């Protein structure tokens, strides 16, 4: 399949168009799945702590709900756009389908920079966001969750406002809630752990032992931190991690060739995954330019930050030693770079498979919230492993059988499931 590079939404559409060709989807189904079912774009006026009012832009895009209520996170980011949210919503549809959970795809966002907002201001944004979409979300319609720069606390504010509007306790209407307030044990770890479950399976297929491998990670937010935690627990060594520096407005890579110490780094990291570079130097880390994370002589690359990070401009810097790329972020690899990675014979685990652990655990959280009965952490993580592993095996079997890349194989399975649900409902 050939994908053309564009902005995120055009990239998502072009990926879909290629798979629609392979599946010989009819025109109606293509037309339906190329675009979101519904999208909301709105203003969120907030009184700042200094008494002034500022108006933030908010979005919620519901791509498809044929397989179940829409599901997906909310991002807070200064460069958020409606097109990015559209792409992310579409990728959520494929993500829920590939791991076979009964949910559709959605995404939300607010154009804001949490670094420059107090927690009280962020609380008002959360409440303002949900007031705008309260009639169009809920347990049976669309269930938000955390994503870039949003946390369990943000989810609880959104839930509290939503429940006040509805006049009922509805814990199943949002996931990623704090444990003890309807949240699930293991949800915080789930995305990062899921990435590592898929890395473990890839290495198994390649006949490589985890303890013989090294990795370089882009980003040091929730996904990266927990991926590093589990990868090191099962014997791998992370030699390099990159992180955004809010003072200098650029990212840096932190290298320790005999292995970074996660606990040590966490002590000098802010809530948005920013590592204090002065303290890191004191701890003996080599400070490199942020884009150096991709050029490390490692076996595994884990982009776990934002979209559009591995491009035709920097893909050439990937070392010949690299055997696996696991996409912890959504949309980190542009189509042009993707083709080059494939040509190099690197085993790439595509985003909507590799990072599906978060939404799988969100689904478990919803089930627990609806039953009002909560499982143990081992139970949650054990079920997560089973779901991730079986999805991985199904994709890799198809990839081998039909001589497809892992991304193409994952797309074939996911889009086929969603198209079938649309047909079965009589929509197309």
Residues near ligand GLU (CB under 6 A):
71-73, 95, 145, 147, 175, 330, 355, 358-359, 362
Q: C-alpha angle 227/255/214, rounded to 5°?
A: 50
**By three-state DSSP, how is residue 327 classified?**
coil
Residue among 95, 107, 177, 323 flagged as catalytic: 107
Shortest Å, Cβ 260 to ligand GLU? 25
Residue 37 or 210 having the CB closest to ligand GLU:
37
Q: Which is nearer to ligand GLU, 298 or 415 (by Cβ)? A: 415
| Ramachandran assignment for 177, one of left (phi > 0), alpha (psi -120 to 50 degrees), beta (any other) | beta
CB 47 to ligand GLU: min, Å:
28
Active site residue 107: yes
d(C-alpha 256, C-alpha 94), whole Å: 37
Shorter beta-carbon distance to ligand GLU: residue 62 or 237 = 62
For 87, 104, 243, the CA distances from 62, given in Å and listed in that order, are 11, 8, 31
**177 near 159, Cβ under 8 Å?**
yes
- Residue 391: CB minimum distance to ligand GLU, A: 13
From the list 23, 70, 358, 20, the residue with the least C-alpha distance to 193 is 358
The residue of the chain with the least Cβ separation from ligand GLU equals 73
Q: Write down the least CB distance from residue 351 to ligand GLU, Å.
A: 9
Provide the minimum distance between the beta carbon of 187 and ligand GLU in the complex, in angstroms, as a whole number. Answer: 8
**Residues forming beta bridges with residue 349, ordered by sequence position:** 326
Q: Give 58 or 358: the residue with its C-beta nearer to ligand GLU.
A: 358
> Smaller CB distance to ligand GLU: residue 236 or 328?
328
Q: Which of 59, 45, 61 is nearest to 12 (CA)?
A: 61
Question: Phi-psi category of 345—alpha, beta or left, where left has phi over 0 and alpha has psi -120 to 50?
Answer: left
Could you list the active site residues? 107
């Amino acid at each position: 399949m050939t994908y053309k590079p564009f902005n995120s939404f055009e990239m998502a559409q072009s990926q879909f168009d290629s798979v629609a060709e392979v599946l010989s989807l009819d025109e109606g189904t293509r037309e339906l799945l190329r675009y979101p079912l519904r999208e909301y774009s709105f203003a969120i006026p907030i009184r700042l702590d200094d008494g002034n009012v500022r108006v933030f832009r908010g979005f919620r895009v519901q791509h498809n709900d044929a397989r179940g209520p829409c599901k997906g996170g909310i991002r807070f980011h200064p460069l958020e756009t409606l097109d990015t949210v559209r792409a992310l919503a579409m990728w959520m549809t494929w993500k829920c389908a590939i791991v076979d959970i009964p949910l559709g795809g959605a995404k939300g966002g607010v154009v804001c920079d949490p670094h420059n907002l107090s927690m009280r201001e962020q609380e008002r944004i959360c409440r303002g966001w949900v007031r705008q979409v309260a009639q169009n979300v809920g347990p049976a319609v669309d269930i938000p969750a955390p994503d870039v720069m949003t946390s369990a606390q943000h989810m609880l504010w959104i839930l509290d406002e939503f429940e006040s509007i509805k006049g009922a306790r509805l814990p199943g209407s949002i996931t990623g809630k704090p444990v003890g307030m309807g949240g699930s044990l293991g949800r915080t770890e789930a995305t990062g752990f899921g990435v590592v479950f898929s890395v473990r399976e890839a290495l198994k297929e390649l006949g490589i032992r985890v303890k013989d491998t090294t990795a370089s990670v882009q980003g040091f937010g929730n996904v990266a931190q927990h991926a590093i935690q589990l990868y090191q627990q099962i014997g791998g060594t992370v030699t390099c991690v990159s992180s955004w520096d809010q003072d200098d407005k650029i990212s840096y890579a932190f290298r320790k060739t005999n292995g970074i110490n996660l606990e040590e780094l966490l002590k000098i990291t802010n809530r948005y995954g920013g590592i204090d570079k002065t303290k890191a130097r004191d701890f003996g880390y080599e400070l490199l330019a942020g884009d150096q994370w991709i050029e490390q002589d490692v076996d595994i690359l884990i982009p776990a930050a934002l979209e559009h990070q591995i491009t035709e401009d920097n893909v050439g810097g990937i070392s010949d030693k690299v055997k696996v790329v696991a996409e912890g972020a959504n949309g980190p690899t542009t189509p042009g770079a993707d083709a080059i990675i494939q040509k190099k014979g690197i085993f790439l685990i595509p985003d909507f498979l590799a990072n599906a652990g978060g939404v799988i655990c969100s689904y478990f959280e919803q089930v627990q919230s609806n039953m009002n009965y909560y499982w143990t952490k081992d139970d949650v993580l054990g079920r997560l492993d089973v779901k991730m592993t079986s999805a991985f095996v199904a994709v890799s079997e198809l990839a081998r059988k039909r001589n497809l890349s892992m991304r193409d194989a994952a797309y074939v399975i996911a889009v086929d499931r969603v198209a079938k649900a649309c047909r079965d409902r009589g929509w197309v």
